[in-house]
Structure 1
Amino acid sequence: MISSQYAGKRVRLSRILPDGKSVIFAFDHGVEHGPGEISEGRLDPRVLIREVVEAGVDAIMTTPGIARMTWDIWANRVAMIIKVSGKTSLRPAEDQLLQSIISSVVEAVALGGDGVAATVYWGSQYEDKMLERWTQIRLKAEELGVPALQLAYPRGPHIKNRYAVDIVAYGARAAMETGADLIKTYYTGSTETFRQVVKAAGGVPVLMSGGARTASPQEFLRKVHSVMEAGGSGVVVGRNVFQAGDIRGMVRAIRAVVHEGADPEEAAKLLDGSGA
């Protein structure tokens, strides 16, 4: 007989990855970067959360405060992943490669969450401290049957190119070996190189980090398509959605690429032409 924890984790993972793939809206930018990246008309979290929920994202990854103030919008409609680590860009430069604890697995469950997420900066001078925190989070999540998403970001003074395939693949492998149930990491520039990242993860679902807003929606959709062709499981995207002119159209286009295998140029036709 399987354990209750195993069953609970599988149930929650099936909400996050309904067909083994997922479009996850990332909205933890207020902590990480301040409100400046969000347009004034979308500063109210309820505005953005309502738009992406109605557009059809599979899950939302956000902070406990935003999850709490928008629960009536996302509850029973999309999966919720609580980000339990974070940092601000206000802290000193020498401490930027360390994230602090901002929530807990227990709070995530209390909020109705389906998963937790935490960052590890592989190669950072604070790697040991972040690994210790990640392990504590993961073990508690395991105890409660909650999937743990690792934001596996190779960053450190000795890493010259954080997007190099050998570096990103190393981070994905380290995430898998330290118990991640889901991995979010950088796009490496091509289908062939990202396939190596997916292979390094040993079967743990790998999702692309959306990163900075691209020059055009089509450029971002091409990246998503490349990730899916490489065997990736989807995308965790923030700025390329909430900075879009047509948020709902952009979500629909990303969904078409991730879940239906749509051609990026065809998927872009789902946008309203506002530039997105």
Structure 2
Amino acid sequence: MVLILYNFNQVGKKVRLSRILKSDGKAVVFAFDHGVEHGPKDFPPEHIDPNKILEKVVGTGVDAVMLLPGMAALTHNVWANKTSLIIKITSKTNLRPEDQRFLQSVFGYVEDAIALGADAIAATVYWGSQYEDAMLSLWFSIREVAERYGLPCLQLAYPRGPAIKNMYDVEIVKYGVRAAVESGADLIKTYYTGSKETFAEVVKVASGIPILMSGGPSRENPMDFLRDVKNVMEAGAQGVVVGRNVFQHKNPSGMVKAIMAIVHEGMEPEDAIKFVG
């Protein structure tokens, strides 16, 4: 007789991850936390109302959206039962003194994410910051509760701080990813290092933990961004988390469709650009 022991929280984590990382193990996540981190100036006038941009993005079939708790509650009629929800429960404003901008603060709790119906939790750690210890303490308190309820944890593993000269340097990014792995991240969002070859090194350091590229600032030429997406996918990444390169573009729906085609279908950027127009 074989005795099967069920570890309920691990089953829950596996189920929830499968809602984000689709059957091919890949995901396109729309990040929409910029209203706090950058302020309303980040949004074109037509997208000041968050419902309008989310309606366009969710309508494309994007795999997941990443929101802060308040925004998730405000827009639930748009995303509910249409895409996966990742709740980010740390953030910071640029209104605080400059020397404190390398610190993330509490913006919600794991219980808030559960109440909202989230499939995962997200939190940022600025590796190399003078506040690294405070963010690590917050990260571990988040992970402890999330683990209890079977919620995967996405770590935004960002090397930032006074001592970081180039946060896109491959050795710096690899260091941050290794630290994210060792701190128990289930998914890792990190910076693009500028080439397929160097990003392959980042993926290798992740040791099987899914890597998602951070979209970063909007590119003047969308083709440049689509080529970055293609490069990270060929390097072995599981997808991208993109915000400004979508909501600051004149055709956000088209950009999401193009990114989805590259991530899930392996389409070439020169072909995917047709969605953008």
Deviation at 1:72, TM superposition (A): 1.9
Q: Tell me the SS of whatever aligns to 1:202.
A: coil
> Superposition pairs for residues 119-198 of structure 1, below 5 Å?
119-198=124-203
Aligned pair count reads 272
Deviation at 1:48, TM superposition (A): 1.1
Question: Which residue is equivalent to 1:32?
Answer: 37
Q: Tell me the SS of whatever aligns to 2:31.
A: strand
Report the Cα distance in structure 2 between the residues aligned to 1:35 and 1:232, rounded to whole angstroms. Answer: 31
Deviation at 1:65, TM superposition (A): 1.1
Structure 1 residue runs of 4+, over 6 Å off? none
> Superposition pairs for residues 1-276 of structure 1, below 5 Å?
1-18=5-22, 19-272=24-277
| Cα-to-partner distance string for 1:134-184 (whole Å, 9 max, x where unaligned) | 000011110010010000000122211110101000101110110000000
Could you tell me which runs of 5 or more consecutive residues in structure 1 were left unpaired when the two chains were aligned: none
| Cα-to-partner distance string for 1:204-250 (whole Å, 9 max, x where unaligned) | 00000000001211000000000000000110000000011111111
Structure 1 residue identity aligned to 2:33: D
Report the Cα distance in structure 1 between the residues aligned to 2:188 and 2:54, rounded to whole angstroms. Answer: 23
Q: Tell me the SS of whatever aligns to 1:55.
A: coil
Could you tell me which runs of 5 or more consecutive residues in structure 2 were left unpaired when the two chains were aligned: none
Q: Tell me the SS of whatever aligns to 1:116.
A: strand
Structure 1 residue identity aligned to 2:129: S
Report the Cα distance in structure 1 between the residues aligned to 2:138 and 2:92, rounded to whole angstroms. Answer: 14
Deviation at 1:45, TM superposition (A): 1.1
State the TM-score, normalized to the length of structure 1. Answer: 0.97
| Cα-to-partner distance string for 1:5-37 (whole Å, 9 max, x where unaligned) | 011111110011112100000000000010001
Deviation at 1:2, TM superposition (A): 2.8
CA RMSD of aligned residues (A): 0.7
Report the Cα distance in structure 2 between the residues aligned to 1:75 and 1:259, rounded to whole angstroms. Answer: 23
Report the Cα distance in structure 2 between the residues aligned to 1:77 and 1:172, rounded to whole angstroms. Answer: 31
Deviation at 1:40, TM superposition (A): 1.4
Deviation at 1:75, TM superposition (A): 1.3
Report the Cα distance in structure 2 between the residues aligned to 1:124 and 1:102, rounded to whole angstroms. Answer: 19
Q: Tell me the SS of whatever aligns to 2:212.
A: strand
